[in-house]
Amino acid sequence: MSLFTLGIEEEFQIIDPESRELKSHMSQIVDRGQVILQERIKQEMHQAVVETGTNICQNISEAREEVQFLRNNVISLADEKNLKVAAAGTHPFSDWVDQLITVDERYDEIINEMRDVARGNLIFGLHVHVGIEDRQEAIKIMNEVRYFLPHIHALSTNSPFWCGRDTGFMSYRSKVFDKFPRTGIPDYFSSAAEYDDYVNLLVKTNCIDNGKKIWWDIRVHPFYPTIEYRICDVPMRLDETICLAAIMQALIAKLHKIRQENLSFRSYRRILIAENKWRAARDGINANLIDFGKEKEVPFKELIIELLAFIDDVLDDLGSRKEVEYVHKILANGTGADRQLAVYEKTGDLKSVVDYIIEETKFGL
């Protein structure tokens, strides 16, 4: 496996076209889908959720083809069953209380351990893996890239509604997930050995059975040679997913490049980065984030231009300049959350918001 390969996982909502409610019919799509897509389509804990995952992609254009292929297939499979597919971090009005849990020993264990916290975790995310073989290097890069997680999160915000309410957050999904243990911005680890000691202690004391039950916003994957970003709401549009994945890949490539030159990016404390994550979740791209170097608040839109300048020298090698520059469209059009709220303001109708999400999920396919 070469450096900076990509794997992209997206979680989708299955919608009843009449009521626009979430529909617990995932198995109808997954069973048929696995004939065509094998491991690239999976069930999730709630039956109204379908997850897709790409094969290992060598570059961002390959990743785009894969994500496009998977979205097209999921939408077609749903159409066959007279169902719709929507990409947003939360459903605008369906209540988790009404949703069925998938029958599976693993999910039974999670619910036994986490009770209503697990049952209420009806959220939809984007996970991006970036290949890196050296675990020691991966831990060091994870420490450094944490600073940029709120910036990425702001761009992905796509969950302003929860159980029929405008929550006042651009990403309420992140607030729902905060109830789980071992979530949020990870701590600083001085080495892979220190990280392994932490995981082993949790296994030994029956907190977890393996490292996959560590659900931080970014993690060195316990089984694959990747750094996995987990902070994002699933975006509505294919273009948004690909833009975010390209930025995540470029950040790791840039931090790796700096380390090759015997330099390093400063690691900031988790409690400081968490302040920025809170602001990003609440206000999205309209947030003022804190520039910890300057010790002052800066509009997100200025910070994202700085981030683009920071990664600029690796984009041509990665072949991802066009994909990263889609950021300017997100800044101009708003994130999924901005656009959902605009539809609601215009129509006053959450069903219209669901219809809009369904249409946007097909955009560019």
- CA separation for the pair 327, 321 (Å, rounded): 11
User: Does some domain include residue 337?
Assistant: yes
User: Does some domain include residue 180?
Assistant: yes
What is the pLDDT, as a whole number, of residue 26? 62
- CA separation for the pair 243, 332 (Å, rounded): 14
User: Does some domain include residue 328?
Assistant: yes
End-to-end CA separation in angstroms for the chain: 29
User: Does some domain include residue 42?
Assistant: yes
User: Does some domain include residue 151?
Assistant: yes
pLDDT digit string (tens) for the chain, length 365 residues: 468 999 999 999 999 999 999 988 667 788 888 888 888 998 888 899 999 999 999 999 999 999 999 999 999 999 999 999 999 999 999 999 988 888 888 888 889 999 999 899 999 999 999 999 999 999 999 999 999 999 999 999 999 999 999 999 999 999 999 999 999 999 999 999 999 999 999 999 999 999 999 999 999 999 999 999 999 999 999 999 999 999 999 999 999 999 999 998 999 999 999 999 999 999 999 999 999 989 999 999 999 999 999 999 999 999 999 999 999 999 999 999 999 999 999 999 999 999 999 999 999 99
User: Does some domain include residue 115?
Assistant: yes
The CATH number assigned to the domain holding 185 equals 3.30.590.20
Task: Give phi and psi for 332, each to the nearest 5.
Answer: -75, -45
Q: Model confidence over 85-134: pLDDT tens digits?
A: 999 999 999 999 988 888 888 888 889 999 999 899 999 999 999 999 99
Instruction: Say if residues 21 and 15 touch (Cβ distance below 8 Å).
Output: yes
User: Does some domain include residue 272?
Assistant: yes
Q: Model confidence over 46-61: pLDDT tens digits?
A: 899 999 999 999 999 9
Determine whether 38 is exposed, middle or buried from the number of CB atoms within 10 Å of its CB (0-12, 13-18, 19+): exposed
Q: Which domain holds residue 204?
A: 6-361
Look at the chain and report how many structural domains it folds into. Answer: 1
User: Does some domain include residue 1?
Assistant: no
pTM exceeding 0.95: yes
16, two tokens: 């009843």
